[in-house]
Structure 1
């Protein structure tokens, strides 16, 4: 087995062998999967953002040229690069380009500021940062300059300039800390030969509760995203609205952006889940599938009467919330004329969801069942023992897309994982008589 990134915990060999034998892991990196999707769906629309539209072929070409641009700036396989971008096509292009260059993107929520971003750079020893110049009034480049002065291993900063914004850089510049700055759009070079990464290597790092970093491999995340796409019966006729931050596990791979692309669907990138931005897009782009938090679903319900739109193509809305809000789900499904699917997902990988064949009560009031047939779930009491049927307990999980440890966090690993590799999710749940899970909230909120 190819060694993982230093500071990560691999799956035991017997589990690796089983996941391969079961067909869950198939040995393709996410960026190589994109090559195949580009061949299969080339002229079809892949990404939509405002007036911008990219086909699958155009997306793959941009990824190729940006990957070559990253390599041309001296970035080498295995290095980490913090990516802090809103839901724009450049996020998707940069993510795949970094992976194609063998680099490890660290997906950082765009809302993070000086309290969080410098620590992510320090823990990962990130040599690069990709972020907006200014976003919602916050100067990300000033923050990046401060981090580079503090942590000199950060030496490449690439800025995304939002349409209409004045570029802060006319070209490559260097500040006194020897950190080089350049527009993200300048990473455009003819593709050249490159050593492809292994599918068993870490594809990227996600941020979990408490700013812990979750190492997701190509194999495990490709399986999660494509299995979720199958569970939702996504096809190339679907249009997925990425309303939640694309750097989150659900919006990236539950099925999210990557799952939608795997099915040949179009992905519409929204600037946020606010109904003012999303409801017009539902009708304009004929969106068929999207995902919301419970709070966002309620805001949509409040805005629908005055929206004046008819989202007639919408067939499914995922709602992520604990506990599941049956009343809001019922109202939203009726108002939008679509099915509602309750989901519970974690950056660490566990994803439970209801299925299209589930009876109405289960679909609205439970989180369904784990995504994979090889997901193993336990409910335990405070001492780690099993709880009686129907009783609440802490949700523990392990499986082909649930990690075995955090990145460079041995103390947290000791608290968060059992000796036999189960993730202690920190969430309370119970099973219904039909075997469905209902996750009711975090243990520390009791």
Structure 2
């Protein structure tokens, strides 16, 4: 096994192989098998191209040889920062045919994150689009290469300009016919996934061919994917959810088709649903209200849509109820980490479980614990930190051994997520460990309170943060963006929150009104910006 993959214990690995969770298949073998069985079937569609399984494999082979001729070798790391285009999947299979390791970056990562990840991975090449959303990625690539990492080659999907970089299309133009050398085995490192859980710069999660395919296959089965499935990738394709849960790889593994939407705008996505007969897609809580609103007014035919998955951060229960009632198809709640564990609600789950939980672990081999601050298991229904291990959950981060002692306990990964485990096995995510506010000996799960705040008709957006307090240790401060011209008062909110079942200590001690909520590039609340605001005057 490659040295940069922390191995599973031998007895666990043997058990996973015997049970069929690991099938000993590399991704090039995965694609070869699909081509042999379904070569003429549509595999991937975007706004520019439509490729069958055979055409996808043929293009990937040519690009693999072009990368080899460029100087990329087996074992090399390659930064991949592409939007939802067919070239992403062509490049994915090309790199893995070559035996190189894709490092999947979000398209909105910028200089600090990219340089950090280039150095951490030791990447020798960097693949970018030309210009996206008026941002020139060629300039970013030049700055990254000048910063001194090992990046030698830059490949541009689109116009390379006068940068001297290589055009992606040129890789497949006239490569040598000599075959490339692929990975040695399914237990080898297949890719590096970016994890940004917790504070600080992002970490890299190593995934093998075995464990990564195990995850995609298990989610595809739990989602009911088959050869008639058409999966719409509306969220960024480099995200773990969109790649694997079941994502584009789960859909392909089920011999279905993948439709790549370069914009998650619901009007555009609904056009694709009608045009391509999409049966399943995934959105995040940020998109859920926008998609719900558009579904009420669209003229697009959405009758083929069987499942909408809502994945990622916690979705407020009130909004979940609206989504369940509003979409004319099944709604599946999901939760997962780049590090491994994936949970989903099932088709036979009652509506209450879909509304209030994120489901159960997808694999019978998943093992979880919910522990208190002393690492003692808490009773069902009590809040604790979620720990997990299994056939697709990592045993150590890439290149950062100093993180491992704090990130693992007896082989279990410390997720940092605070959950309640119900007697049914369903998990309710109440927040992150670092999102807890410790007020006078009581613990407040900020995301849970935020969900109640956002349910108030007078509030459009809300965030709850801790502020130092000489008596309580920490007090809670609610930042709110009103939905109208006048915000509700703290006193009004206190009555409202208590009526909804919150304890008195969970009512915010202070409220500050904002015109707009500061957001990160991916649309999440920018808590660092709000922390800086805590030093200002009280609102």
Contact between 2:234 and 2:263, CA under 8 Å: does it hold in 1?
yes
1:254-269 to 2 correspondences below 5 Å: 254-269=245-260
SS in 2 for 1:122: helix
The counterpart of 2:171, out of the listed 187, 196, 220, is 187
- Output the CA distance in 2 between the equivalents of 1:140 and 1:303: 32
Give the greater-gyration-radius structure (CA): 2
1:427 aligned onto 2:414? no
Contact between 1:314 and 1:336, CA under 8 Å: does it hold in 2?
no
The counterpart of 1:199, out of the listed 163, 183, 186, is 186
- Output the CA distance in 2 between the equivalents of 1:333 and 1:274: 20
1:287-326 to 2 correspondences below 5 Å: 287-326=278-317
Report Cα offsets for 1:226-271 as digits up to 9, x if no partner: 1111111111111100011111111111110000001111111011
1:368 aligned onto 2:365? no
Instruction: Tell me how far 1:8 sits from its aligned partner.
Output: 3.3
| 5+ long unaligned stretches in structure 2 | 437-539
Report Cα offsets for 1:103-140 as digits up to 9, x if no partner: 00100000001121111111111100000122111121
The counterpart of 1:397, out of the listed 385, 388, 394, is 388
1:49-64 to 2 correspondences below 5 Å: 49-64=46-61
Change (3 A) 1:51 1:146: closer
Instruction: Tell me how far 1:191 sits from its aligned partner.
Output: 4.6
Contact between 1:333 and 1:340, CA under 8 Å: does it hold in 2?
yes
Aligned to 1:439: 429
1:7-46 to 2 correspondences below 5 Å: 7-46=4-43
Change (3 A) 1:374 1:152: closer
1:66 aligned onto 2:63? yes
Instruction: Tell me how far 1:152 sits from its aligned partner.
Output: 5.5
1:377 aligned onto 2:368? yes
- Output the CA distance in 2 between the equivalents of 1:333 and 1:303: 15
Change (3 A) 1:152 1:388: closer
TM-score (norm 2): 0.77
Aligned to 1:331: 322
Number of aligned pairs? 429
Contact between 2:219 and 2:250, CA under 8 Å: does it hold in 1?
yes
- Output the CA distance in 2 between the equivalents of 1:323 and 1:271: 25
The counterpart of 1:208, out of the listed 195, 206, 211, is 195
Change (3 A) 1:359 1:381: same
Change (3 A) 1:143 1:167: closer
Backbone CA RMSD of aligned residues:
1.5
1:132-281 to 2 correspondences below 5 Å: 132-151=129-148, 153-161=150-158, 167-168=160-161, 174=164, 181-188=165-172, 189=175, 191-197=177-183, 198-209=185-196, 210-281=201-272
| 5+ long unaligned stretches in structure 1 | 175-180
Contact between 1:82 and 1:121, CA under 8 Å: does it hold in 2?
yes
Contact between 1:322 and 1:440, CA under 8 Å: does it hold in 2?
no
SS in 2 for 1:427: strand
Contact between 1:271 and 1:277, CA under 8 Å: does it hold in 2?
no
Larger displacement relative to structure 2 (76-85 or 324-333) = 324-333
Contact between 2:248 and 2:258, CA under 8 Å: does it hold in 1?
yes
Higher relative contact order (CA 8 A, sep 6+): 1
- Output the CA distance in 2 between the equivalents of 1:88 and 1:398: 33
TM-score (norm 1): 0.93
Larger displacement relative to structure 2 (310-319 or 188-197) = 188-197
Aligned to 1:409: 400
